[in-house]
Amino acid sequence: MLYGIHAILEGLSYAILYVLDVAVGVTFSRGIIDFTLFGLIQGNDKTNFIWILILGIPTALIYYWVFKTLILKFNLKTPGRGDQDEVKLYTKKDALMKEMDIEEVITALGGRENLVEVDACITRLRVTVKDVEKVADDATWKNQLKAKGVFRKGKGVQVVYGALAEILKNEINKVR
């Protein structure tokens, strides 16, 4: 519900700025960098950026009042308010460890005794093994261990895990 209200307020803000002939470009964030590059540097004559400053504070106050009123009136659940269950933020490592058993990954690599070196790049777990024949097949990696792909060359095995590759490397090296 709050997102729907935000969409309406955002649309009204854009409509008002359009009527006032504000022409400040944005990349993705509508932040201070965009405001500086596409507003201040271009000059008020070209962009009419001054209206953003004039309307910014009232807009913030309206958002605050509307959201606070709706949250309290409808008792909407928001982090840190009321008698909720504990709100916990999980790290990538926490999320990975919930989804995946590191021992299963080691087993799929042929076991601890098969590991020579475990490293990672940005997206791949890079492992040198003694015997590549002991490494699990592609279907096991993709279906059971949630890998995006597996590449083998000589005694090297690269398992594509995206940003989790570095975390996996560290966890494997801790227990081997």
DSSP string across 67-110: HHHHHHHTT---TTSSSPPPP-PPPHHHHHHHH--HHHHHHHTT
Dihedral sign of CA atoms 3, 8, 11, 13 in order = negative
Between 157 and 31, residue with greater pLDDT: 157
Confidence at 29, pLDDT banded by 50, 70, 90: confident
CB neighbourhood size of 63 (10 A): 15
Quote the mean pLDDT of the chain: 90
103 shares a domain with 65: no
33 lies in a domain?
yes
Assess whether pLDDT exceeds 80 at residue 100.
no
Which of 38, 73, 108 is at the close of a domain? 73
Contacting residues for 100 by C-beta, under 8 A, at least 6 apart: 145, 146, 168
Q: Residue 16: in which H helix or E strand, if any?
A: helix 2-19
Which of 69-78, 86-95, 121-130 bottoms out in mean pLDDT, i.e. has the lowest? 86-95
Q: Is residue 52 part of a domain?
A: yes
Count of positions (residues) in the chain = 176
Examine the pLDDT at 39 and tell me if it is beyond 60.
yes
Distance CA 56, CA 28 (A): 18
Q: What is the mean pLDDT of residues 84-113?
A: 78
Residues 6+ apart with CB under 8 A from 116: 127, 128, 129, 130, 155
- Where residue 150 sits, what CATH number does that domain have? 3.30.1360.60
| Structural contact between residues 76 and 2, judged by C-beta atoms closer than 8 angstroms | yes
- Report the pLDDT value the prediction gives residue 97, as an integer from 0 to 100: 65
In a domain, 13, yes or no: yes
Report how many domains make up the chain.
2
The confidence band for 28, taking pLDDT boundaries of 50, 70 and 90, is confident
Identify which of 54, 53, 56 has the alpha carbon closest to the alpha carbon of residue 40: 53
State which residues form the domain around 159.
92-175
